[in-house]
Amino acid sequence: MLRNAMQPWHLIVLLVVCLLVFGSKKLPEMARGLGKSMRILKAETRALRTEEEQPPRPDRHPEAP
């Protein structure tokens, strides 16, 4: 049923609708914002992965007298 769900003409129609709704001045700004968000998400997931791989550190607080 959904074998050929996304065809090239679907993307073209979607781009035309986005252009009509948001206008040509807003689309590059939105794409830039989406790119920045994706970079931040990628960096955060990478940091979480490296955090999981490292063994937990012992507590470094000095002992109280």
Question: Would you state the pLDDT for residue 64?
Answer: 56
Residue 46 resides in a domain:
yes
**Residue numbers of the domain that contains 34:** 24-51
Q: How confident is the model over 3-25, as pLDDT tens digits? A: 677 788 888 998 899 888 888 88
Which pLDDT band, with edges at 50, 70 and 90, does 37 fall under? Answer: very high
Average pLDDT (39-59) is 82
Q: Is residue 43 domain-resident?
A: yes
Residue 38: inside a domain, yes or no?
A: yes
Looking at residue 61, what is its pLDDT? 61
Q: Is residue 56 part of a domain?
A: no
**Residue 62 corresponds to which tokens in the numbers above?**
């000095």
In this structure, is residue 18 part of a structural domain?
Answer: no
- Closest Cα to residue 16, out of 6, 5, 27, 7? 27
Overall number of domains in the chain = 1
Map tokens 């794409």 to a residue: 31
Quick check: is 60 in a domain?
no
**Residue 57 within a domain:** no
